Structure 1
Amino acid sequence: MIDIVRTAQKTSQKSNRETCSEPSECTAEFLVLEPAGYPMASVLDEYPEISDPGVFEHYAREQWKGYIARKGDYLLDRRMFPDFAYKVTDVEPPGSVIGQDTRIIVRDPVISSVPVVEFRSDVTFDDVIGQQNARKKCKLIERFLEAPEKFGKWAPRNVLFFGPSGTGKTMLAKALANKAHVPILPVKATELIGEFVGEGARQIHQLYERAQEMAPCIIFIDELDAIALDRRHQELRGDVAEIVNALLTEMDGIVERPGVCTIGATNRTDTIDPAVRSRFEEEIEFTLPDEMERLAILESNVKTFPVPVKDVDLKAIARMTGELSGRDLVGKVLKTALHNVIIEDRENVTQDDLLSSVKKIKNIQPPSNADRMYI
């Protein structure tokens, strides 16, 4: 395909320089198209297959004859696949007219694959501080992954982790995979949203096909609300019907994938489509750490500082940091204090450094109400 296009480019550049003064007065020597899709996602999930390029080229010249072709424009099919759009990726000369002798080439669509990364987690349950109720409920998933064949139709195939951001949902999923000695496929939901119609649905099916090959395993979909958006909120970011339908198909087990457990994570259950939420057999809540848990998080992480601490009262810091998540404590309190000490070329992290970090985050963070984050 590339050789054909390059040959056409060389030939057309020479001939058109000799015969045309204005591109719009010239007949296009060749036109390269790429399938772009239908204007509405619900029409078709797949691209029309061109079985005979010669027949397609004949019909294409007939219906688009006289059109001025410019790179980046879209040509709508009115005869073969009504309303299907093709994007002009190359035309020579630019802005020339499609004629009876124009060579029309259709490239395969550029479909990105879901960035699935399989890995074996080294996170343990000891790394997850607090969340005792969530850890207890995860025993069910652990038993299932250890012996999927024993569960049959009673398998916990779909589980929802919900709660404020930074409370350890991802860490617990990784620890669970480690404990059960199974791989985990972590994916951010935003990565499943494709550029072309049908791409998102394809990526979801590819994700589950990959998981089936490695079963037993965990599919961990973070930020689930990005794709499973309630229909009442869809006007905020467009129609996601095709993605939701593909996800529901997989969660319903229409194609049996034994040994695959889907864990969705969100901090906004109020925005998830009820049809998706109803597919989760189990919902596991994650809560903000209490004072004792905050102290444990601080003590555990301070031990790994590359700079020693001096005269710090972590109990006082724990009392002052109510409504902060574990991630906030590590990333916005401890890390900020440590970085300031390193930048200022000082030898120790002191209580004043930690207090300064707490004061900063309290000043920039509006009063939060965890109950509003999820229902």
Structure 2
Amino acid sequence: MMYIVRTAQKTTAKSKRKPSSDPGECTADFLVLEPAGYPMASMLDEYPEITDPGVFEHYAREQWRGFTARKGDYLFDRRMFPDFAYKVTDVEPPESVIGQNTHIIVSEVLVTTTPVVEFRSDVTFDDVVGQQSARKKCKLIERFLEAPEKFGKWAPRNVLFFGPSGTGKTMLAKALANKTHVPIIPVKATELIGEFVGEGSRQIHQLYDRAQEMAPCIVFIDELDAIALDRRHQELRGDVAEIVNSLLTEMDGIVERPGVCTIGATNRTDAIDPAVRSRFEEEIEFTLPDEKERLAILRSNVRTFPIPVKDLDLPALAKMTEGLSGRDLVAKVLKTALHNVIIDEREHVTQDDLCSSLKKLKNIPVSGNADRMYI
């Protein structure tokens, strides 16, 4: 898991502070600022990087001299990066005026990452029921992670897992990591969406910097469509182009990251930007389980029930659950039935309990046509 520490928070009021005209106000001894970003997203805006704190301090005093600084307020750049905001995190004395001798300190940490603990998976290929075609194609990734130096420019750096939710995409990625004994960094794509312009881009680059340190490893980005949304929809998300461009940079290998394999997962290939999708050398499809696979899922999970079962007809249940994913079978059929039995303080889980939870899931009679059982 990638842990993100955000030190800058959103605010609904970002008014510019006027210079003080009160000669009675005292001069600030020091001022601590924190980069906050732009009030509105624009791809034309560049995030200012401070390379010389001394030069910036002189620059800041020249433009903000005479302004009253209060903790929690914002100071806006008016020259090189117009409207870029810095949040006042500390000022001494409180509510004092910025003067020629005010010491200005900038905390240059808008987004940082805590050390990523290497996540080792205990999921095996035996835990993934079905998906034989996907498992076969994953042999390539397995060989690469076992000996990345042998592949050179032919490495499978970017692989797309796609298919309905709950079909085992995450489990197979974890099984790959377990089989090859490499760490996996699982990231929800929504965690990479920042609050300010440039934040999402920096988080993506930081993610890959950390992955490179841990290589060989897998970067598993779930819900990829959340950050790789087609850029034709920018009117819906102003930061889409920025995030997509950063992801493309990493996927193109402009910065060499040997031993890093990116696996993106989505159930909405139609929403992914064509430029991003074209970067995946392999696309591996995951499908809903067939009747035989549904039966195997039901049997393997029923064995782990904490209370006994009685008179179950799992083959019949497998026939009635066409269109359901493995996750639906476990979380919405088996778990619901088990919980109802526990709540009622009964001693056994029966076929009626399973059929009842299935009926509630689709709100149709369980004896109805199985062709109607779709998610």
**Per the shorter chain, which TM-score range?**
0.7 to 0.9
Unaligned runs of 5+ in 1: 1-22, 371-375
CA 103–255 in structure 1, closer or farther in 2 if over 3 Å, else same: closer
User: Residues of 1 paired with 2:108 and 2:52: CA distance?
Assistant: 13
> One-letter code of the match for 1:163?
G
Query: In terms of mean alpha carbon deviation, does 244-253 or 276-285 score higher?
Result: 244-253
List aligned pairs for 1:119-130, cutoff 5 A: 119-130=119-130
- Where structure 2 has 5 or more consecutive residues not aligned to the other structure, the ranges are 1-21, 365-371
Equivalent positions of 1:262-301 (< 5 A) are: 262-301=262-301
Greater CA drift, 219-228 or 255-264: 255-264
Q: Percent identity between the aligned chains?
A: 81
Q: Distance in 2 between matches of 1:97 and 1:264?
A: 51
Pairs within 5 Å for 1:236-251: 236-251=236-251
In proportion to residue count, which structure has more helix?
A: 1
Q: Which amino acid aligns with 2:287?
A: T
Q: Secondary structure at the match of 1:236?
A: coil
Matched ranges for 1:1-375 at <5 A: 26-27=25-26, 29=28, 31-38=31-38, 39-40=40-41, 42-43=43-44, 46-49=47-50, 51-53=52-54, 56-91=56-91, 98=98, 104-113=104-113, 116-363=116-363
CA offsets, 1:288-339, max 9 Å, x none? 1111111110000000111110111112221222211101111111111111
SS at match of 2:86: strand
Aligned pairs, number: 345
CA contact (8 A) 1:34 1:86 kept: yes
RMSD: 2.8
Normalising to structure 2: TM-score of the pair? 0.82
Deviates more, 1:333-342 or 1:75-84: 75-84
Q: 2:50·2:56 contact (CA, 8 Å) conserved in 1?
A: no
**Which residue identity does 1:248 align to in structure 2?**
L
Counterpart-to-counterpart distance in 2, 1:35 and 1:143: 44
CA distance in 1, matches of 2:37, 2:357: 50
Displacement of 1:93 in angstroms is: 7.1
The answer on whether the counterparts of 2:220 and 2:265 sit within 8 Å (CA) in structure 1 is yes
The answer to whether the 8 A contact 2:167-2:288 is kept is: yes
Give CA deviations for 1:132-188 in whole Å, capped at 9, x if unaligned: 111111112112222223322222111100011110000011112222232222111
Amino acid at match of 1:158: N
- Following superposition, the deviation at residue 232 of structure 1 comes to 2.3
Q: CA deviation at 1:25?
A: 7.4
**One-letter amino acid matched to 1:131:** Q
Q: Is the 8 Å Cα contact of residues 31 and 102 (structure 1) preserved in structure 2?
A: yes
Asked if structure 2 preserves the Cα contact closer than 8 Å seen for 1:233 and 1:271, the reply is: no
